[in-house]
Amino acid sequence: MNSFSAKLFKYRSYMPIPFVLVMLFYHNSNIWSMAVGLFIALVGEYIRLMGVSWAGSETRTTGTVGGTYLIISGPFGHLRNPLYFGNILMYFGFGIMSNALFPYLQFTGLIFFSLQYHFIVKEEENYLRSTYGKDYEEYVKNVPRFFPRLTRYRNEKVAQPPFNLKAGFKSERRTLQAFSIITLTLFLLWFFRRLT
Protein backbone atom coordinates (compact mmCIF):
# COMPACT_ATOMS: atom_id res chain seq x y z
CA MET A 1 0.00 0.00 0.00
CA ASN A 2 1.51 3.35 -0.96
CA SER A 3 1.97 5.82 1.88
CA PHE A 4 -0.69 8.30 0.73
CA SER A 5 -3.38 5.62 0.37
CA ALA A 6 -2.27 4.00 3.63
CA LYS A 7 -2.75 7.29 5.49
CA LEU A 8 -6.16 7.84 3.91
CA PHE A 9 -7.14 4.29 4.90
CA LYS A 10 -5.83 4.59 8.46
CA TYR A 11 -7.46 7.96 9.18
CA ARG A 12 -10.61 7.54 7.08
CA SER A 13 -12.85 7.71 10.17
CA TYR A 14 -11.54 11.20 11.02
CA MET A 15 -11.75 12.72 7.54
CA PRO A 16 -15.41 13.83 7.92
CA ILE A 17 -14.68 15.96 11.01
CA PRO A 18 -13.83 19.23 9.14
CA PHE A 19 -16.90 18.73 6.92
CA VAL A 20 -19.14 18.23 9.97
CA LEU A 21 -17.68 21.28 11.79
CA VAL A 22 -18.26 23.56 8.78
CA MET A 23 -21.72 22.09 8.35
CA LEU A 24 -22.66 22.81 11.99
CA PHE A 25 -21.11 26.29 12.02
CA TYR A 26 -22.91 27.45 8.87
CA HIS A 27 -26.15 25.51 9.35
CA ASN A 28 -29.20 27.08 7.74
CA SER A 29 -31.70 24.23 8.00
CA ASN A 30 -35.33 24.32 7.01
CA ILE A 31 -38.04 21.67 7.17
CA TRP A 32 -37.40 20.54 3.59
CA SER A 33 -33.62 20.31 3.90
CA MET A 34 -34.06 18.35 7.14
CA ALA A 35 -36.53 15.88 5.62
CA VAL A 36 -34.75 15.32 2.29
CA GLY A 37 -31.28 15.17 3.86
CA LEU A 38 -32.38 12.77 6.61
CA PHE A 39 -33.91 10.43 4.03
CA ILE A 40 -30.67 10.36 1.99
CA ALA A 41 -28.55 9.85 5.13
CA LEU A 42 -30.81 7.01 6.31
CA VAL A 43 -30.51 5.28 2.93
CA GLY A 44 -26.73 5.54 3.25
CA GLU A 45 -26.76 4.09 6.77
CA TYR A 46 -29.08 1.27 5.70
CA ILE A 47 -26.68 0.31 2.88
CA ARG A 48 -23.78 0.38 5.37
CA LEU A 49 -25.66 -1.76 7.91
CA MET A 50 -26.54 -4.38 5.31
CA GLY A 51 -22.92 -4.38 4.10
CA VAL A 52 -21.37 -4.89 7.54
CA SER A 53 -23.96 -7.56 8.32
CA TRP A 54 -22.32 -9.56 5.50
CA ALA A 55 -18.71 -8.42 5.84
CA GLY A 56 -18.49 -8.31 9.65
CA SER A 57 -16.15 -6.32 11.86
CA GLU A 58 -13.23 -6.64 9.42
CA THR A 59 -14.54 -3.43 7.88
CA ARG A 60 -13.40 -1.59 11.02
CA THR A 61 -9.69 -2.31 10.61
CA THR A 62 -7.33 0.66 10.43
CA GLY A 63 -4.11 -1.26 9.80
CA THR A 64 -3.86 -2.69 6.31
CA VAL A 65 -6.54 -3.65 3.82
CA GLY A 66 -7.69 -7.25 3.77
CA GLY A 67 -10.56 -9.63 4.32
CA THR A 68 -11.31 -13.28 4.97
CA TYR A 69 -13.94 -13.55 2.22
CA LEU A 70 -14.61 -12.06 -1.18
CA ILE A 71 -18.06 -10.73 -0.27
CA ILE A 72 -20.49 -10.70 -3.19
CA SER A 73 -23.74 -11.05 -1.20
CA GLY A 74 -26.27 -8.44 -0.13
CA PRO A 75 -25.35 -4.92 -1.29
CA PHE A 76 -21.96 -6.23 -2.51
CA GLY A 77 -23.93 -7.98 -5.28
CA HIS A 78 -25.03 -4.57 -6.56
CA LEU A 79 -21.83 -2.54 -6.16
CA ARG A 80 -18.31 -3.37 -5.04
CA ASN A 81 -18.01 -0.71 -2.34
CA PRO A 82 -21.36 -0.35 -0.57
CA LEU A 83 -19.83 0.88 2.70
CA TYR A 84 -18.07 3.78 1.01
CA PHE A 85 -21.12 4.49 -1.14
CA GLY A 86 -23.22 4.49 2.04
CA ASN A 87 -20.77 6.90 3.67
CA ILE A 88 -20.94 9.28 0.71
CA LEU A 89 -24.75 9.24 0.87
CA MET A 90 -24.66 9.89 4.62
CA TYR A 91 -22.29 12.86 4.34
CA PHE A 92 -24.25 14.26 1.42
CA GLY A 93 -27.50 13.78 3.36
CA PHE A 94 -26.13 15.53 6.45
CA GLY A 95 -24.90 18.36 4.26
CA ILE A 96 -28.38 18.76 2.81
CA MET A 97 -29.94 18.56 6.29
CA SER A 98 -27.72 21.43 7.46
CA ASN A 99 -28.36 23.45 4.28
CA ALA A 100 -24.97 25.03 5.07
CA LEU A 101 -23.32 27.00 2.25
CA PHE A 102 -25.72 25.26 -0.12
CA PRO A 103 -24.86 23.86 -2.66
CA TYR A 104 -21.10 24.45 -2.37
CA LEU A 105 -20.43 22.48 0.83
CA GLN A 106 -22.53 19.53 -0.30
CA PHE A 107 -20.83 19.17 -3.68
CA THR A 108 -17.38 19.87 -2.26
CA GLY A 109 -17.98 17.07 0.25
CA LEU A 110 -19.25 14.77 -2.50
CA ILE A 111 -16.12 15.37 -4.58
CA PHE A 112 -13.73 15.16 -1.60
CA PHE A 113 -15.09 11.86 -0.25
CA SER A 114 -15.32 10.36 -3.75
CA LEU A 115 -11.63 11.16 -4.33
CA GLN A 116 -10.62 9.87 -0.89
CA TYR A 117 -12.39 6.56 -1.49
CA HIS A 118 -10.99 6.34 -5.01
CA PHE A 119 -7.44 6.09 -3.63
CA ILE A 120 -8.41 3.71 -0.82
CA VAL A 121 -10.40 1.45 -3.16
CA LYS A 122 -7.50 1.12 -5.60
CA GLU A 123 -5.37 -0.36 -2.80
CA GLU A 124 -8.16 -2.65 -1.63
CA GLU A 125 -8.66 -3.85 -5.18
CA ASN A 126 -4.97 -4.73 -5.49
CA TYR A 127 -5.31 -6.92 -2.39
CA LEU A 128 -8.53 -8.56 -3.61
CA ARG A 129 -7.09 -9.18 -7.09
CA SER A 130 -3.96 -10.86 -5.69
CA THR A 131 -5.92 -12.87 -3.10
CA TYR A 132 -9.01 -14.00 -5.02
CA GLY A 133 -7.73 -14.01 -8.61
CA LYS A 134 -10.25 -15.10 -11.25
CA ASP A 135 -13.25 -14.93 -8.91
CA TYR A 136 -12.47 -11.29 -8.22
CA GLU A 137 -11.84 -10.52 -11.91
CA GLU A 138 -15.23 -12.02 -12.76
CA TYR A 139 -16.81 -9.94 -10.01
CA VAL A 140 -15.16 -6.74 -11.30
CA LYS A 141 -16.45 -7.45 -14.82
CA ASN A 142 -20.03 -7.73 -13.57
CA VAL A 143 -20.35 -5.35 -10.62
CA PRO A 144 -19.65 -1.59 -10.77
CA ARG A 145 -17.29 0.07 -8.28
CA PHE A 146 -19.68 2.79 -7.01
CA PHE A 147 -22.85 2.96 -9.12
CA PRO A 148 -25.25 0.12 -8.20
CA ARG A 149 -26.49 -2.30 -10.80
CA LEU A 150 -30.20 -3.12 -10.57
CA THR A 151 -29.97 -6.91 -10.46
CA ARG A 152 -27.81 -8.71 -7.91
CA TYR A 153 -24.67 -10.47 -9.13
CA ARG A 154 -24.46 -14.15 -8.14
CA ASN A 155 -21.65 -16.68 -8.24
CA GLU A 156 -22.38 -19.88 -6.35
CA LYS A 157 -18.69 -20.92 -6.47
CA VAL A 158 -17.63 -18.07 -4.16
CA ALA A 159 -18.01 -19.05 -0.48
CA GLN A 160 -19.85 -16.46 1.62
CA PRO A 161 -20.11 -15.86 5.36
CA PRO A 162 -23.59 -15.98 6.88
CA PHE A 163 -25.66 -12.80 7.09
CA ASN A 164 -25.57 -11.60 10.71
CA LEU A 165 -27.67 -8.52 11.46
CA LYS A 166 -26.84 -8.63 15.18
CA ALA A 167 -23.11 -8.52 14.40
CA GLY A 168 -23.85 -5.78 11.85
CA PHE A 169 -25.48 -3.60 14.52
CA LYS A 170 -22.57 -4.30 16.87
CA SER A 171 -20.02 -3.34 14.20
CA GLU A 172 -22.03 -0.22 13.29
CA ARG A 173 -22.39 0.97 16.90
CA ARG A 174 -19.95 3.88 16.51
CA THR A 175 -21.42 4.93 13.18
CA LEU A 176 -24.96 4.76 14.56
CA GLN A 177 -23.91 6.83 17.58
CA ALA A 178 -22.31 9.48 15.33
CA PHE A 179 -25.38 9.39 13.06
CA SER A 180 -27.70 9.97 16.04
CA ILE A 181 -25.55 12.77 17.52
CA ILE A 182 -25.27 14.65 14.22
CA THR A 183 -28.99 14.22 13.48
CA LEU A 184 -30.01 15.37 16.97
CA THR A 185 -27.62 18.34 16.84
CA LEU A 186 -28.96 19.45 13.44
CA PHE A 187 -32.52 19.03 14.65
CA LEU A 188 -31.84 21.13 17.79
CA LEU A 189 -30.05 23.83 15.77
CA TRP A 190 -32.99 23.98 13.37
CA PHE A 191 -35.55 23.99 16.20
CA PHE A 192 -33.89 26.74 18.26
CA ARG A 193 -33.26 28.82 15.15
CA ARG A 194 -37.01 28.82 14.53
CA LEU A 195 -37.60 30.19 18.04
CA THR A 196 -35.36 33.22 17.55
pLDDT per residue over 83-137, tens digit each? 999 999 999 999 999 999 999 999 999 999 988 998 889 888 988 999 999 999 9
Domain residue spans in the chain? 3-195
Q: Residue range 127-151: average pLDDT?
A: 94
| Residue 57 scores a pLDDT above 70 | no
Indicate the range of 55-64, 145-154, 187-196 predicted with least confidence.
Answer: 55-64
pLDDT at residue 62 in the model: 44
| Residue 196 scores a pLDDT above 50 | yes
Mean residue pLDDT across the chain: 90
Torsion from C-alpha of 56, 143, 125, 116, nearest 10 degrees: -80
Instruction: Check: CB of residue 6 under 8 Å from CB of residue 120.
Output: no
